Amino acid sequence: MRVAVIGAGMSGILAAIKLRERGDEVVVHEKAATLGGTWRDNTYPGLSCDVPSHVYAYSFELKGDWTKRFSPGAEIQAYFEGVARRYGVTDVIRFNSEVVRAVHEGGRWRLHTKDGRDDTADAVIAATGVLHVPAYPDIAGLEDFGGACFHSARWDHSVPLDGRRIGVIGTGSTAIQIVPALADRAKELVLFQRTAQWVLPLANPAYSEDEKAMYLRSPEALRQSYDFWAKRFVDTFAEAVIGNEAELAKIEAACRANLEDNVRDPELRRRLTPDYRAACKRLIMSEEFYPAMQKPGVRLVTDGIERVEAAGVRTKDGRLHALDMLVLATGFDGHAFLRPMEVVGEGGRTLAEAWSHANEAYRSVAVPGFPNFFMLVGPNSPIGNFSVIQISELQIAYIQQLLDLVRDGRCSAIAPTAAASQRFNSALREAMKGTVWVTGCRSWYLDRNGNPALWPWSFDRFRAEMRSPDLADFALL
Ligand code: NAP
């Protein structure tokens, strides 16, 4: 079977490895000149992963010598490059090959790329990521700014930082990593906060040489560490967000204590205090943010942005904050999924038409009417505060079982039925009512209908649902 994978980030590399293990012919179309997805695109100062290193790795390629408990971004990028090379995936990636259209015709998928080339495949796996399309803020005058201005995921490393007046818009996980990294370098650092965040203090110690040597020597110890962190996240965050009030109360108390213990000035504390429940937005983990906000030259601005001018940012109180450079840490469109690619399924129906009301997939991995078309980390995957790599691994194992039916000749294509997909999605919507994400905050989790694009059930349920497909929910073609 020939399978086209779209995207050479974490999920695409994984898919290529696993499909090739089954003997499939694989081509990975990657729109950029290099692999790595998120870890290629994001290079901002302070970038690191807030999922522990030992669990933020493929389960079959654990790495013993991460330098810190939470890895710096560059180390993660190097890890993916290394794994892709070792498994021969780099050789099957077509770089600079942006798929603009995928059409199901004559029982196969025909892919058209931006550079005018065609490819055909028996199956397609879209591994195009979730937080991939930068969200630019709708702020008047942004284009008038006289200094350097860029999105956090498009960092311009030619722009000097030392001794400059730097503005950062946003207070998400990204901004909270950027601020401590720039606090000692900038002459002035101004953080424009629209909404305060709950911040959980998580220490990020470096692994000692002895620890690294021990993990390199002992796959058993490394596996235990993987299991420990995976379980810890599942037992705490994953439970707290779906209605386990006791777990949520613990997280809330830890965040509140962090704020009270580590922000001395009562006025600054008041302005940094959120007015919504912890974990309603994605929880932020940092021991460095509050200390950074109290350094000389660092200012928190909460007055609201009126407009951007050539000289800086003018806030609603009329004040001009003069700046040399402006960072837009304003996040991503978490609902863009495969867009702007056009995907055309059975009967000429496009995915845009199928998703005109909402991004709805069957168990996050497939869509009725799109045979042999699968997604990794698709809509309503259990992303949040745990390792998306684990999620992707469970999804590809599930997809493999579906593709086995094609490989074994039991059918030539497979897709979920519309009825099964509707059942799944109405159960999802119902279950969302019990989650913390709908308790009254704005976040990238919520789609345009106000529904979170997440998994409202336990991680164990996800694992169980991904164990083996229920073939009654599928049409075998
Ligand atoms: P984000 O969480 O969506 O935060 C965007 C920020 O920009 C918010 O504070 C938002 O304010 C603000 N904003 C947006 N438009 C604005 C406007 N017009 N005026 C003023 N403020 C505006 O984005 P992110 O920080 O890039 O993080 C996105 C996700 O990436 C995270 O939730 C996480 O899943 C992932 N991430 C992970 C890590 C990691 O270590 N694993 C690191 C970075 C990012 P409001 O809150 O008021 O909307």
pLDDT in tens, 326-348: 999 999 999 999 999 999 999 99
What value does the CA radius of gyration of the chain take, rounded to a whole number of Å?
23
For ligand 1, say whether the CB of 330 is within 6 Å of any of its atoms: yes
Note the helical H segments in 201-299. 209-217, 219-235, 237-240, 245-262, 266-271, 289-293
**If you measure from the C-alpha of residue 332 to the centroid of ligand 1, how many angstroms do you get, rounded to a whole number?**
7
Compute, in angstroms, the gap from residue 413 CA to the centroid of ligand 1.
39
Distance from Cα 222 to the centre of ligand 1, integer Å: 32
State the distance between the two ends of the chain, measured CA to CA, in whole angstroms.
16
**Angle at 159 (CA atoms; ends 175, 305), nearest 5 degrees:** 45
Contact 331 CB / ligand 1 (< 6 Å): yes
Atom of ligand 1 nearest to the CA of 330: 7
Residue 134 DSSP SS3: strand
For 132-184, the pLDDT digits (tens) are: 999 999 999 999 999 999 999 999 999 999 999 999 999 999 999 999 999 99
Q: State the DSSP code for 114.
A: T
Q: Sorting pLDDT into bands at 50, 70 and 90, what band is 78? A: very high
382 has a pLDDT exceeding 80: yes
Measured from the Cα of 51, ligand 1's closest atom is 41
| Residue 234: predicted pLDDT | 85
Which pLDDT score, from 0 to 100, does residue 217 have?
Answer: 97
Neighbours of 32 (CB within 10 A): 16
CA of 250 relative to ligand 1 center, distance in Å: 24
Q: Is the CB of 129 under 6 A from ligand 1?
A: no
Q: Is the CB of 442 under 6 A from ligand 1?
A: yes
What's the confidence (pLDDT) of residue 425? 97
CB 151 within 8 A of CB 330: yes
Q: Is residue 84 predicted with pLDDT exceeding 90?
A: yes
**How far is the CA of 61 from the CAs of 216, 295, 386, in angstroms?**
12, 40, 18
pLDDT-derived band at 237 (thresholds 50, 70, 90) equals: confident
Rounded to whole angstroms, the Cα distance separating 37 from 8 reads: 6
171 C-alpha to center of ligand 1: Å? 6
Closest residue by CA, ligand 1 atom 18: 137
Residue 384 scores a pLDDT above 80 = no
Q: Which atom of ligand 1 is nearest to the CA of 139?
A: 18
Please report, for residues 292, 364, 397, 451, the alpha-carbon distance to residue 404 in angstroms, rounded to integers and kept in the order given.
Answer: 53, 19, 11, 34
Asked whether 173 lines ligand 1 (CB < 6 A), one says yes
Q: Is the pLDDT of residue 387 over 90?
A: no
Q: Which atom of ligand 1 is nearest to the CA of 176?
A: 25
Q: Give the atom of ligand 1 at the shortest distance from the alpha carbon of 131.
A: 30
Cβ–Cβ < 8 Å for 359, 367: no
Asked whether the predicted pLDDT for residue 224 surpasses 90, the reply is: yes
Bridge partners, 123 (sequence order)? 3
Q: Ligand 1: which of 173, 306, 445, 454 to mutate, most ligand atoms within 8 Å of CB?
A: 173
Take atom 2 of ligand 1 and give the residue whose Cα is closest.
172
Q: What pTM did the predictor assign?
A: 0.97
CB 375 within 8 A of CB 125: yes
Tell me if 307 CB under 6 Å of ligand 1: no
Which domains, from first to last, does the chain contain?
2-133+333-476 (3.50.50.60), 142-198+242-328 (3.50.50.60)
CA of 330 to the centre of ligand 1 (A): 5
Mean pLDDT (the chain, rounded): 96
Could you tell me if 287 and 212 are in contact, meaning their C-beta atoms sit under 8 angstroms apart? no
Distance 351 CA to ligand 1 centre (A): 27
Task: For the chain, give the percent of residues with pLDDT over 70.
Answer: 100
For 286-324, write each residue's pLDDT tens digit. 999 999 999 999 999 999 999 999 999 999 999 999 999
Nearest ligand 1 atom to the CA of 49 is 40
Cα 331 to ligand 1 centre (Å): 4
Q: How far is the CA of 90 from the centre of ligand 1 (A)?
A: 31
Cα(144) to centroid(ligand 1), Å: 23
Contact in structure between 69 and 52 (CB atoms under 8 Å)? yes
**Would you say residue 267 has pLDDT above 70?**
yes
CA distances from 197 to 45, 316, 398, 455 (A): 20, 21, 36, 22
Q: How confident is the model at residue 385 (pLDDT cuts 50, 70, 90)?
A: low
pLDDT digits (tens, 9 = 90+) for 28-61: 999 999 999 999 999 999 999 989 999 999 999 9
Contact residues for 249 (Cβ-Cβ < 8 A; gap 6+): none
* CA–CA distance, 349 with 448 (Å, rounded to integer): 22
CB atoms within 10 A of CB 316: 10
Q: Is 137 in the pocket of ligand 1 (CB under 6 A)?
A: yes
Q: Is 402 helix (H, G, I), strand (E, B) or coil?
A: helix
C-alpha of residue 150 to centroid of ligand 1, in Å: 15
* Residue 284 pLDDT: 94
Percent helix, strand and coil across the chain, each rounded to 5? 35, 20, 45
pLDDT score recorded for residue 264? 96
Q: Choose one of 330, 389, 445, 446 to mutate for the ligand 1 pocket test, by most ligand atoms within 8 angstroms of C-beta.
A: 330
Q: Could you tell me if the CB of 195 is within 6 A of ligand 1?
A: yes
Question: Which residue's C-alpha comes closest to atom 43 of ligand 1?
Answer: 174
**How far, in Å, CA of 295 to CA of 191, rounded?**
12
